[in-house]
Structure 1
Amino acid sequence: MTLDTATAQAQVLDAADRLFYERGVQSVGMDAIRAESGVSLKRLYQLFPAKDRLVEAYLERRNQQWSIMLAEYVDVDQSPRERILAVFDFLHAWFQQRDYRGCAFINSFGELGAVSPKVAELAHDHKAEFRSVLSGLAASAGAADPDRLADHLVLLAEGAITTSAIAGSPLPAVRAKEAAGLLLDATLPA
């Protein structure tokens, strides 16, 4: 049975997501993607003529998924301050996932950023988008300098993401949320 293009592409991206995130981009070959996805090697190369393109599609898809999950936490009916703190609740939930291995963008950048301008660009764009979300939340909360507050919040979040991946614990999200609360108390209008 021949799979339609959308189904085959989804199966390949699902397999790439699991394998790249679990093992790293460089250690996973196209044959492993083929075996995991159940899509023939010929079809795989029709969909993604080079591994570079598959890595890019994997990161683009991860960005979309991450943005949707983050929005589910912050786009609820609560105060602007609580919406900022909900970012750290999102991180806490993410860190508790059984397959959590840190940020796919940081991981991919660490592996390929020096040799793949596109991977570096995708990682940069993902982080810039996250900062933009935080800046918007800070502006909604009445921060005098939303970009500066966003910079501080990004450092807390990114530090929690990396620390949690290394420690294997969701606790860094709790501590980062505590620090964010103190920062908000010091910078937002009463």
Structure 2
Amino acid sequence: MHSRSERRAHLVDTALRLFARGGYHATGIDAVLAASGVAKKTLYHHFPSKDDLIVEVLRERDRRFRASLAAFVAARATPRARLAAVFEWHALWFAEPDFAGCMFLNAAAEFHDGSAGILAVAREHKQALEAWLAALLTDLVEAERAAPLAADLNLLLDGAIGTALVSRDPAAAARAWALAERLLPAK
């Protein structure tokens, strides 16, 4: 028998996979239940509504996304190489066979006039990524330039995500990096 926390984690993991592939509105609770093998009562014990499940799925995606990206970037020796690694990581993500775009942008698109909780988690993810980029930039640019430049880089990354989703071309990340390099001080 699995513990409550294991069942909850299994539900979140299953829902994350299904929502990433099929979208939030198109993926019903019954699909999550069927794929997870969890009873409806158990699901609603942990998540009183589908929106609550989506919020937790997005929080888990945020944790996984940022941990994976940070580990990939940390392996690089220089500040510029670490920044380039952000775009390289995205290129690898774009090349994955199940790449379906950014779950946070997708959530914002599907719930633009809906759940404040879902939109808040999407916004928090983008803000956290931007703050992390600003921290990476502090070794490359003056302190007052780090935050605005991080916002520009975040914009380039979001554009690359959309382009890669539509074109199915992982090179969108390399093109975004080429543009980002124009914004950085000369080597």
In 1, Cα distance between equivalents of 2:183 and 2:96 = 27
TM-score scaled by structure 1?
Answer: 0.92
Distance 1:96 1:177, change over 3 A: same
Q: Aligned partners of 1:178 and 1:18: how far apart in 2?
A: 32
- Over the aligned positions, Cα root-mean-square deviation in angstroms equals 1.4
Q: How does 1:60-71 map to 2 (within 5 A)?
A: 60-71=59-70
TM-score computed with the length of structure 2 as normaliser: 0.94
**Cα drift, residue 155 of structure 1:** 1.5
Identical pairs, percent: 34
CA contact (8 A) 1:26 1:111 kept: yes
Per-residue deviation, 1:77:
4.2
1:11-38 Cα distance to aligned partner (Å, 9 max, x none): 2112101111111111111111110001
> What is the rounded CA distance, in whole Å, between the counterparts of 2:45 and 2:162 in structure 1?
36
Q: Which amino acid aligns with 2:181?
A: G
The answer (yes or no) to whether the contact 1:113–1:119 under 8 Å persists in 2 is: no
4+ long deviations beyond 2 Å: none
Aligned to 2:20: 21
State the alpha-carbon separation in 2 of the partners of residues 51 and 151 from structure 1: 31
- The structural deviation recorded for 1:64 is 0.3
Determine the C-alpha separation between the residues in 2 that align with 1:137 and 1:166. 29
- Structure 1, unmatched stretches of 5+, are none
CA contact (8 A) 1:102 1:165 kept: yes
| Structure 2: gaps (5+ residues) | none
- Written as runs of structure 1 = structure 2, the 5 A alignment for 1:124-143 is 124-143=123-142
C-alpha distance in 2, partners of 1:162/1:39?
34
Name the SS for the 1:140 alignment partner.
Answer: coil
Task: Work out the CA distance in 1 between the residues paired with 2:163 and 2:76.
Answer: 30
1:81-132 deviation digits (Å, cap 9, x = unpaired): 1111111011011111111011000001100131111111111111101110
Shift of residue 189 of structure 1? 6.3
Q: Does 2:106 align with 1:104?
A: no
Q: Using the alignment, how far apart are the partners of 2:180 and 2:54 within structure 1? A: 33
**How many residues in Structure 1 have an aligned counterpart in Structure 2?**
186
Amino acid at match of 1:155: L
Rate the CA distance shift 1:143–1:58 in 2: closer, same or farther, 3 A. same
Aligned to 2:175: 175
Deviation of 1:164 (Å): 0.5
Matches within 5 A, 1:77-116: 77-116=76-115
